[in-house]
Chain A
Amino acid sequence: MVKMILIAIVAPLLAFAIGLSFMMIKRKFVARIQRRYGPTIIQPIFDIMKLLLKEDNISHGIIFSLGPIIAIAGSILSVFFIPIAGLNMLTGSGDLIALLYIMAIGSLGMALGAGDSANPNASIGISRALTLMFGYDLPLVIIVISVALQYHTTDLSAIVAAQANGHWALWSLPLSAIVGFVVTYGALGEHPFDIITAPHEVATGPMVEYGGKHLGFLMINHAFHLYVEIALFVDLFLGGASNIFIFYIKMFAVFFIMMMFDEVLPRFKIDDAVRFFWKWPTVVALISLIIVLVK
């Protein structure tokens, strides 16, 4: 029982730390690409701490304040459903399909909070966020099904176990892995698909009215979200590791490649983004699905 409580406290902190490390590296890496020196490596920590320690915070109502809290609760919940370093915590009580729905709690919380901020920029941001979610959910579902069908189970820890020594799903389902990689871009709202919080058009979208500790909470939530998405990708296709270091290395490798494409591509318009997701990734994912079905 004590071990359980210990895990219940350590796991989210670990997830937050990993997510935060990715944010740090990203800022530094982006600066380096733009031939700039870039901020201190631990700049995100300063940002978050400064936001949390803001003396004066505004709120547009209970739902406005509840939004970030539900977002964080949802993210913490989804962290528990991803097996880390060999210990599969809650995968027993909820499988892959449940995980896809649990990840939706986060976006629901943010959407509710932003909606209550009574600002049209926020509403436009949310409508784009949900449309984008609708877009990338189709290929995501297809690759999840193809992985589940290949290993005849939707239990994430079983999938990880099946990919144990070396033969990852990446080799057996290369096409799905590629689609998974592209979909993680959309899910994270990374640069080509950051139409949601495009500063030039909709003044950081849903976060337009968020400041101070609310914005701090949202950045914490972004860290969790970063961790969950990449950990899911690693578990599905790179056979998540038995101990934490290999897990981190794999996640870092994935994130590193993502950062490479990140800064180079121009931003998608929202309906082009959905058209893109429903054209190429879906077709490729369907091909790999048919391959799995036939096999």
Chain B
Amino acid sequence: MEKMTEEQVKSIANMLRKRSLWMIHYCTGCGAMELPPTMTSRYDMERFGLAPYVTSRQADILLITGYLNVKTLRRVITVYEQMLDPKYVIGFGSCTLNGGVYWDSYAVIKQLDRYIPADLYIAGCMPRPEAVISAFRHLMELIDSGKADGYKRYKRNLAYYKENQRKVLG
């Protein structure tokens, strides 16, 4: 019986986390422009319980909207660490995947999830609001099924992440 309630609490918690996702979009790159349309009346992401919040303490999702150079990576890591635990990271656009058009730049990092665990990527050189909404829905399913465990991975192999970060930030 006790096992079952533990399971039940977990599923209820996940359901709640799914239904009320608060996001902080750290407008690093050119993807930030995609978010106002998703928030406003045409696509209205608030239907799914998503709301934009200002401080890292209150947020659940960290959106990395575009290319991430070394300088902003340092700030993004601080924000990520300040967020409270069940936290998820969504990488916007191809620049977070493999450096995108800045593949040869000396400043832009090529792969987001080497430095902070990314739960979800949205391909496209700046995905349209529909893509963003579908990404969010996909994230909800991940949360529901419990697979969105980026923050656990970060905690588990913290040394690996820290090593990569030190290699880049110096």
Contacts and interface: CB of A to CB of B under 8 A. Distances in A.
Contacts of B134: none
B89 to A, nearest CB: 16
A175 interface: no
Contact of B44 (A36, A57, A210): A36
Contact of B49 (A39, A203, A207, A211): A39
Given A36-B40, A204-B54, A204-B55, A57 B46 contact: no
A35 B40 CA distance: 9
Interface stretch (A41-49, A150-158, A264-272): A41-49
B46 A36 contact: yes
A50 B84 contact: no
A46 B19 contact: yes
Contact of A34 (B13, B41, B55): B41
Nearest to A208: B55
A54 B16 CA distance: 10
Interface in A62-99: none
B100 interface: no
A295 B111 CA distance: 78
B46 A50 contact: no
A277 B16 CA distance: 41
Given A38-B46, A43-B49, A57 B84 contact: yes
A46 B58 contact: no
B20 interface: yes
Contacts of B3: none
Contact of B17 (A50, A56, A212): A50
A36 B54 CA distance: 21
A54 B55 contact: no
A34 B41 CA distance: 7
A55 B40 CA distance: 31
B47 interface: yes
Nearest to A207: B58
Contact of A209 (B20, B49, B55, B85): B55
A54 B85 contact: yes
Given A34-B41, A50-B17, A199 B54 contact: yes
Count chain A CB atoms within 10 A of each CB in B20, B22, B53, B57 and give the residue with the most. Answer: B57
A210 B54 CA distance: 12
Contacts of A37: 44, 46-47
29 contacts: A36-B40, A36-B46, A37-B44, A37-B46, A38-B44, A43-B20, A46-B19, A46-B20, A47-B20, A47-B22, A47-B49, A49-B20, A50-B17, A50-B19, A50-B60, A53-B13, A53-B17, A54-B84, A56-B85, A57-B84, A58-B84, A199-B54, A204-B53, A204-B55, A204-B58, A208-B57, A211-B57, A212-B84, A215-B58
Interface of B: 13, 16-17, 19-20, 22, 40-41, 44, 46-49, 53-55, 57-58, 60, 84-86
Given A40-B49, A204-B53, A204-B55, 15 more contacts: A36-B41, A36-B46, A38-B44, A39-B46, A39-B47, A46-B49, A50-B60, A54-B86, A55-B86, A57-B84, A58-B84, A204-B54, A204-B58, A208-B54, A208-B57
